[in-house]
């Protein structure tokens, strides 16, 4: 049925021509000062960390980027519009309301989020997709998604992996992949997808709040300038995929391996008993880990998020200095 010419349909966010106009080029980013830009994801605020730690961590991460000479932008979707940066008031609103108000939007959800006017926090995959559309090619997060345990029975693979495969020449700084995952299978998936993996001051793959998973990384660097050289070579060769830079959590707050694994085993049993899976699994397990470690995992999580933001800022500055970005 055609709409009546005298009563046009109610416009949705995507009916507005400017709904994605902020995603054209770096110079279109609102309030941009000219400093190198770093994208920061927002699910850690709405779903990952409890109040008020979520707000404090988000603000500390932005300050850490600034201390490195770059500018951190937290991405999210508000009323169906992608936002490349949030005010302190908006960050606080997201932190206070959390998942009761804000959906969790992965890359696959972006079209629905824009078309239906969602308020949503963006995962790694959604944040990286929106950032690279705006020309922002450096991102920081805590830990990445990957291949979940038990994938042979329930094929649960994070959408982060496919976005990493598509994000040609982008840099993602993290503390490895969340320890709740099947890490050997995740590394195999990265290799298959052509995603480069580089250890910053480490030969081992970190396991989020643990410094080492016992698995090796293909390459090690000691400085942001070395990372910039790898990125430049990656782009010059026209290689597909992102460059994932992994940085271990600070030794002072890292979880002891045995404690972390015992807590994770108990959390996985809880999840199985309660039938938790899919998008709800990661927040559930992280919450259980926080409880079972007496808050130690929360302290480690906050530290690594901020430290990764600081390193991402330094990499963005190094890339700008070489003319790569």
pLDDT digits (tens, 9 = 90+) for 50-79: 999 999 999 999 999 999 999 999 999 999
Query: Of 57, 253, 28, which is closest to residue 133 (Cα–Cα)?
Result: 28
- CATH (domain of 289): 3.40.1790.10
Per-residue pLDDT for 19 more than 60?
no
Report if residue 276 sits inside a domain: yes
Per-residue pLDDT for 118 more than 90?
yes
81 has binding-site annotation: no
Beta partners for 104?
121
In this predicted structure, what is the pLDDT of residue 287? 86
In this predicted structure, what is the pLDDT of residue 93? 98
Per-residue pLDDT for 307 more than 80?
yes
- Reported as half-sphere exposure (CB side, CA atoms, 13 A), residue 127 has a value of 26
Average pLDDT over residues 23-32: 61
Count of the separate structural domains present in the chain? 1
Cα–Cα distance, 77 to 103 (Å, whole number):
9
124 has binding-site annotation: yes
229 has binding-site annotation: no
Report if residue 16 sits inside a domain: no
Q: Tell me which of 2, 41, 71, 92 is the catalytic residue.
A: 41
Question: Does the annotation mark 41 as catalytic?
Answer: yes
Distances (CA, A) of 69 to 6, 94, 194: 54, 26, 30
Cα–Cα distance, 117 to 111 (Å, whole number):
10
Query: Of 43, 120, 108, 54, which is closest to residue 81 (Cα–Cα)?
Result: 120
Report if residue 21 sits inside a domain: no
Is it true that the peptide bond before 52 is cis, omega within 30 degrees of 0? Answer: yes
171 has binding-site annotation: no
Report if residue 100 sits inside a domain: yes
Report if residue 15 sits inside a domain: no
Question: Does the annotation mark 178 as catalytic?
Answer: yes
Report if residue 24 sits inside a domain: no
Q: Whole-number mean pLDDT of the chain?
A: 89
Per-residue pLDDT for 5 more than 60?
no
Q: How confident is the model at residue 34 (pLDDT cuts 50, 70, 90)?
A: confident
| Higher per-residue pLDDT: 20 or 141 | 141
Q: Tell me which of 71, 81, 163, 178 is the catalytic residue.
A: 178
In this predicted structure, what is the pLDDT of residue 200? 99
Q: How confident is the model at residue 2 (pLDDT cuts 50, 70, 90)?
A: very low
In this predicted structure, what is the pLDDT of residue 296? 94
Domain that holds residue 275: 33-321
pTM for this predicted structure? 0.89
Q: How confident is the model at residue 279 (pLDDT cuts 50, 70, 90)?
A: confident
Tell me how crowded residue 283 is: count the other CB atoms within 10 A of its CB. 17
In this predicted structure, what is the pLDDT of residue 78? 97
Report if residue 6 sits inside a domain: no
Report if residue 3 sits inside a domain: no
Angle at 33 between CA 18 and CA 52, to 5 degrees: 80
104 has binding-site annotation: yes
């Amino acid at each position: 049925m055609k709409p009546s010419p005298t009563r046009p349909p109610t416009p949705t966010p995507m009916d507005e021509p400017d709904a994605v106009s902020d995603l054209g080029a770096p110079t279109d980013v609102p309030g941009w000062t000219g400093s190198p830009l770093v994208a920061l994801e927002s699910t850690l605020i709405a779903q990952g960390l409890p109040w008020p730690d979520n707000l404090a961590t988000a603000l500390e991460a932005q300050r850490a980027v600034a201390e490195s000479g770059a500018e951190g932008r937290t991405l999210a979707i508000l009323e169906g519009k992608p936002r490349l940066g949030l005010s302190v008031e908006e960050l606080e609103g997201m932190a206070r309301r959390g998942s009761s108000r804000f959906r969790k939007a992965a890359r696959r959800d972006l079209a629905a989020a824009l078309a239906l006017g969602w308020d949503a926090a963006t995962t790694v995959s959604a944040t990286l997709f929106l950032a690279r559309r705006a020309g922002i090619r450096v991102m920081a997060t805590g830990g990445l998604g990957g291949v979940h345990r038990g994938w042979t029975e329930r094929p649960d693979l994070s959408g982060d992996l496919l976005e990493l495969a598509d994000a040609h020449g982008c840099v993602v700084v993290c503390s490895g992949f969340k320890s709740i995952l099947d890490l050997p299978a995740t590394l195999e998936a990265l290799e298959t997808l052509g995603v480069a993996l580089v250890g910053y001051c480490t030969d081992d793959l970190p396991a989020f709040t643990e410094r080492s998973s016992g698995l090796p990384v293909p390459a090690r660097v000691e400085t942001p300038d070395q990372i910039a050289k790898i990125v430049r070579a990656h782009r010059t060769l026209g290689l597909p995929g992102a460059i994932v830079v992994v940085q271990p959590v600070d030794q002072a707050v890292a979880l002891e391996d045995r404690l972390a694994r015992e807590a994770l085993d108990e959390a996985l049993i809880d999840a199985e008993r309660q039938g938790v899976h899919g998008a709800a699994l990661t927040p559930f397990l992280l919450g259980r880990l926080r409880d079972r470690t007496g808050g130690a995992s929360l302290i480690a999580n906050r530290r690594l998020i901020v430290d990764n933001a600081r390193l991402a800022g330094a990499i963005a500055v190094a890339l700008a200095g070489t003319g790569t970005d």
